[in-house]
Amino acid sequence: MTDIFQSSGAPLESPSIPPKTGTANPGMFFRRWLANPLQMGSIVPSSPALCRRIVQQVRPAPDEAVLELGAGTGVISQALLAGGVPADRLILVEIVPDMAAHLRRVLPGVRVIEGDARRLPDLLPPAWIGRIGAVVCGIPLVLLPVAEQRRFIDAIEAVAPGRGFLHYSYCATSPLPAGRLGLAARREAWTPLNFPPASVWRYTPRPH
């Protein structure tokens, strides 16, 4: 039987390099949280411990790209680079213009797309559609109605068919109603070393 959680490539290295100075920018993060708490979902960037756990779950094949949705100030992006994802194979999507500008400044060589991840099929360069090996979603989906969650999931499926996505969350249980969304869910990791403590979930489309 095929493992629906199977990944395509070898595990990335566990990044030992600390995030580059200036990537985290907690001041910018907190100001954005004050401006739009539901869109940010957290008052501080993900911790190095959470970034490490996410990176350990990302396994693209050598010719595939990694797509990060809701990159914020870029701490996970930086950890993905430190874990071995080449800059030209990392694609970031961020809806807040100031944050997208910050990402371009601190992560040269990485493709930063400013826009709404629900519009992924229009935003992503056509050459990369179907060549995404892993998707990391940091957008706070738990706070949305199911119909809205489905829009994000459909957008991911349109650009990375069958791949599913990793999603980190501060909930004790699955942040998404996986069955209703046609997904299989698996908690891959948990860390108390984040504010708040966080889990890394893998969601994969259920075979029809």
Ligand X SMILES: C[S@@+](CC[C@H](N)C(=O)[O-])C[C@H]1O[C@@H](n2cnc3c(N)ncnc32)[C@H](O)[C@@H]1O
Q: Under the rule (CB under 6 A), what is the footprint of ligand X? A: 39-42, 45-46, 69-72, 75-76, 93-96, 99, 116-118, 138-140
Residue 128 beta carbon to ligand X: minimum distance, rounded to whole angstroms: 17
Q: Which is nearer to ligand X, 166 or 185 (CB)?
A: 166
Q: Which is nearer to ligand X, 10 or 101 (CB)?
A: 101
Residue 138 beta carbon to ligand X: minimum distance, rounded to whole angstroms: 4
| Burial of residue 129 (number of CB atoms within 10 Å: 0-12, 13-18, 19+) | middle
Report in angstroms the alpha-carbon separations of 169 from 95, 175, 200: 19, 7, 7
Q: Output 23-27 pairs: Cβ under 8 A, ≥24 positions apart.
A: 23/73, 23/74, 23/75, 23/77, 23/78, 23/106, 23/107, 24/73, 24/74, 24/75, 25/73, 25/102, 26/73
Residue 84 beta carbon to ligand X: minimum distance, rounded to whole angstroms: 19
Q: Which is nearer to ligand X, 152 or 204 (CB)?
A: 152
Q: Which is nearer to ligand X, 40 or 55 (CB)?
A: 40
Q: Which is nearer to ligand X, 141 or 185 (CB)?
A: 141
State phi, psi for 95 to the nearest 5 degrees. -85, -25
Q: Which is nearer to ligand X, 156 or 206 (CB)?
A: 156
Residue 6 beta carbon to ligand X: minimum distance, rounded to whole angstroms: 25
Residue 54 beta carbon to ligand X: minimum distance, rounded to whole angstroms: 8
Residue 92 beta carbon to ligand X: minimum distance, rounded to whole angstroms: 9
Strand order in the sheet with 90-94: 111-114, 90-94, 65-69, 132-137, 165-169, 198-205, 183-191
Cβ atoms of 80 and 55 closer than 8 Å: yes
Both tokens of 91, joined, read 């694609």
